[in-house]
Structure 1
Amino acid sequence: MPYFCDQFSFTYRLMPQSIHFIAIGGSVMHNLAISLQQAGHTVTGSDDVIYEPSHTRLSQHQLLPTELGWFPDRIQAGLDAVIVGMHARPDNPELLRAQELKLPIFSLPAYIYQHSQQKQRIVIAGSHGKTTITAMLMHVLTFHNRAFDYLVGTTLDGYESTVRLSAQAPLIVIEGDAYASSPLDPTPKFLNYQPHIALISGIAWDHVSIYPTWDRYVDQFEELAEAMPKAGILIFDEDDNMLDIIGQKERTDITKLPYQPHPSKIIDGQTYLLPRRGDKIPVPVFGEHNMKNIAAAMTVCDRIGITEEQFYAAIPTFKAVPHRLEQVIERNGKRLFRDFAYAPAKVEATTAAVRAQFPGNSVVAVAELHAVNLIPAFLEEYRQTMDKANQAAVFINVAGFSADERALVNIDAVRTTFGRPDLTVLTDAEALRQYLLDKRDKATIFLLMSSGSFGDLNFTELVDALL
């Protein structure tokens, strides 16, 4: 994929650019488009489908395409950059026209890298914890009025956008995922950023639709570790066996920093950090995985001039990332939590965290599995992941499956694989609703884990009925 010469970053600071987005409706793409417009650039874009909240936000900034579809005549020779999102295909008419005109074409991560060549780049990668660690870093930097740019995968409280690019900020914090960079660049996004500081939070097989084997998935993180620039810093979870191997790569020219869960204590349902000096510190997150996230963020902060004391001053006011072990409501002695957990390691960590935080409560846990999770080799990874719950269920929204996807649904196999004979397997939203209502007199904690919507379950109505 062609890129700008090094002069691009310098030019970005001096004069407005004309930039066109192919697939502008993407969750990060539309945020980048708005950010660039606010920086004074002329931004246009197109897409064949745009969902909320992208539709409303693009409309508010007068960036919503006048009609949906691809229009190669919009690609003119005067464009300074074309940014192409993953929703586009390699044969996209606008992309083909840009190639014909030999315009500078970027994937989103390649564009972010070009803009941040003169900044210190901090990339948070891994199978879990990426968003939370990135959000913690952003919160601490904001708390102490440090100038920084960022790219994070979801909207956070207190931040209007998921992307900020500026000419002045000396560093950028990037959540780096393992999805392909663009239709023309199949490498993981995090390999484009060339980080000065790379943090790998943990490796557990994920994105099985892209990486059909464990080895192929792990290879991507090994490439990230091996591609670290000289004098780079690699931070990794010391308890993760795979990361220990990556962290011990024969690279004497980089600094390797392992971390362990931050010492903590649970008192009456509240988690406190136990610093080396001083009093215990209350934090709004809990679970061993979050204590690892805190330790990871602290390790990064130490390398960019944020002291332990400064970190501890900021972290009590950190707001948990939406849908990351988020307490939706507490009422009448009962609690409802939602979590983005969908991969096996996430389901296990979240269920264990709730059990440890509320040991005397009866926990009902529900995990939604998508079609890709039901591939037999991957399904096996879920074994015993929900053992810490008193009662457990798996929800599979069969109504949203294609015929081929429905062929993967084997309820007996799901129950056997999870290793719980009492596991309930539900295949429609109404059955899920009734299952939860049947538990309301006995359960005190409801934990709902999904990257989806549980078949568009009406949560407002559910909460009122349950609690």
Structure 2
Amino acid sequence: MTQINNIRKIHFISIGGSVMHNLAIELHLKGFLVTGSDDEIYEPSSSRLAQYELLPEKTGWFPEKVTDDLEAVILGMHARQDNLELAKAKELGIKIYSYPEYIFEQSQNKQRVVIAGSHGKTTITSMVLHVLKFTNRQFNYLVGAQLDGFENMVKLSDEAPLIVIEGDEYFTSPLDHTPKFMHYQPHIALISGIAWDHFNVFPTWESYVKQFELLADSIPKAGSIVYDETDDMLDVIGQKERTDVVSIAYNVHPNKIENGKTILITAEQGEVPVLVFGDHNMKNISGARIVCERVGITDEEFYSAIQSFKGASKRMELLAKNDMTNVYRDFAHAPSKVGATTEAVHEQFPDRTLVAVAELHTFSSLNKEFLRQYRRKLDAADVAVVYFNPLTIEHKRLEPLHEEDIIKAFKREDLEVFTKAEDLKDFLQNQNWENANLLLMSSGTFGDIDLNALVEDIVK
């Protein structure tokens, strides 16, 4: 370990990533001297880095930033294998970590909980963190969204005995094609469901499923695997015999809906009102409760805490409402997420017209071969809308898509398809919003539409 004047120095290659910039901020707050580079940094990363004086003065790669007094370099997924700063770090023999490797290094002596799955992992992780904070436990964490009451998305303290990690199945770094979650070596792993995603990395269903099987098989003796038994493939993985590993299945938490509000039905705590809704969130609550139980939280504590859980940022986020209309935004982009989220809003408000808009923005969703996975995923909507930007397809070097391709893939003849953001905005502004809800689903920005202004027009 190299230290100059007792200051530990860390350099981030690709500091603008959602987890990378949060990790950089956390190390800065712990007293490290943090530097970083990136060739593009977007909001909110740029503002948050600037707040802590960590935003690089210029975008680009600068080998001179990599010096022999660095303790380590942390390499983000966005950087390429031929990155100049990476080459300099190798030349100087500096320790190079991906962020999952670094998180593991900092948590080897802690109980490690990993929440994985194609959908729901951010929400379940957020639920567990909310309960732990509500009950005044000491814990570390890594989560993929901004949460109410949490300053940062990463926390690494020396004294916390527990760390809860949202585990991603995507590649670790340009140098390491292992799924990120394999680096954490969890004592408790929850897998929320398996639905094919990341078509560019896992070109077959079998190759995608295999990653979750590897995670389950990596659980050490005396460990636990928690899984959604309603997922057929996951049920097979969960029930597989593993020596001295406990398998715990969960399902939809018993509940009822009254006047648009969801109420949990429990054996010991009676009726418990919650702010989230939909079968997928009722399963998320069941999974989170089991994880909390495994780390010492009682049911009484759990149900007291979960009542105030509002959800993670952009996960079924209520943007605005009036007496006749609710407008929701959700990060849903994969087929399973689009289907579950649309169904949830329909079931919560069965007497309201549902206008559901899905943006195709990711590599998988814009791939003509993968597109068929969206078949009937918008059937629960009364008015179904898809938006995509042809320039995004060009940027990703994919085969062009046409309106008829989208309609055929979604298996819905009345599907409205837009390729211009202004046309989509006009369409939504001209809908009748009396006794109707709007659901916006995307990991993108709907062509940079001013959503605040649009929502204000709809609910005014």
**Residue 368, structure 1, aligned to residue 359, structure 2:** yes
Deviation at 1:164, TM superposition (A): 0.5
Q: Is the 8 A contact 2:324 2:434 kept in 1?
A: no
> Structure 2 CA distance, aligned partners of 1:437 and 1:466?
7
1:241 — aligned with what?
A: 232
Displacement of 1:399 in angstroms is 4.1
Q: CA deviation at 1:405?
A: 4.9
Partner residue in 1 for 2:335: 344
- AA paired with 1:17? R
Cα drift, residue 167 of structure 1? 0.4
Deviations 1:217-269 (A, max 9, x none): 11111111111122211110011111111112231221111111110000010
Of 223, 246, 251, which aligns to 2:242? 251
Q: In the alignment, is residue 174 of structure 1 matched against residue 177 of structure 2?
A: no
Deviations 1:47-78 (A, max 9, x none): 22222222222222122223322222222222
Does the 8 Å CA contact 1:273/1:281 hold for their aligned counterparts? yes
User: AA paired with 2:261?
Assistant: Q
Asked if 1:293 corresponds to 2:284, the answer is: yes
* Aligned residues of 1:122 and 1:195 also touching (Cα < 8 A): yes
Identity across the alignment (%): 54
| Counterpart position of 1:308 | 299
Q: TM-score, normalised by structure 1?
A: 0.94
* Distance (whole Å) between structure 1 residues aligned to residue 109 and residue 396 of structure 2: 48
One-letter code of the match for 1:260?
Answer: N
1:113 aligns with 104
Tell me what 1:89 maps to. Answer: 80
* Structure 1 residue 27, shift from structure 2 partner: 1.4
The aligned counterpart of 2:376 is 384
Q: Residue 122 of structure 1 corresponds to which residue in structure 2?
A: 113
1:58-457 alignment to 2 at 5 Å?
A: 58-370=49-361, 372-402=364-394, 405=397, 407-441=399-433, 444-457=436-449
Q: CA deviation at 1:386?
A: 1.0
Q: Give the SS at the match of 1:139.
A: helix
Q: Tell me: CA distance 1:434–1:268, structure 2 relative to 1, closer, same or farther (3 Å).
A: same
Stretch deviating more after TM superposition (103-112 or 330-339): 330-339
Amino acid at match of 1:417: A
Over the aligned positions, Cα root-mean-square deviation in angstroms equals 1.7
Structure 1 CA distance for aligned equivalents of residues 164 and 78 of structure 2: 24
Q: Deviations over 1:327-374 (max 9, x none)?
A: 111114111111111111111101111111111111111111125313
**Matching of residue 464 in structure 1 with residue 456 in structure 2:** yes
Instruction: Please say if residues 226 and 249 of structure 1, whose CA atoms lie closer than 8 Å, have aligned partners that are also in contact.
Output: no
Contact persistence 1:398–1:406 (CA under 8 A): no
Q: Quick one: structure 1 residues 404 and 36, their matched pair in 2 at CA, closer, same or farther if it must change by over 3 Å? A: closer
Distance in 2 of aligned mates of 1:305 and 1:159: 22
Q: TM-score normalised to the size of structure 2?
A: 0.95
CA distance in 2 between counterparts of 1:355 and 1:165 reads: 40
Say if 1:364 and 1:443, in contact at 8 Å, map to a contact too. no
Q: Unaligned stretches of 5+ in structure 2?
A: none
- Paired residues in the alignment total 456
Separation in 1 of the partners of 2:304 and 2:372?
43
**Aligned residues of 1:368 and 1:449 also touching (Cα < 8 A):** yes
Separation in 1, partners of 2:44, 2:396: 30
Aligned amino acid, residue 364 of structure 1: V
The residue type equivalent to 2:29 in the other structure is Q
Native 8 Å contact 1:366 1:449 kept in 2: yes
CA–CA separation in structure 1 for the residues paired with 2:433 and 2:443: 27
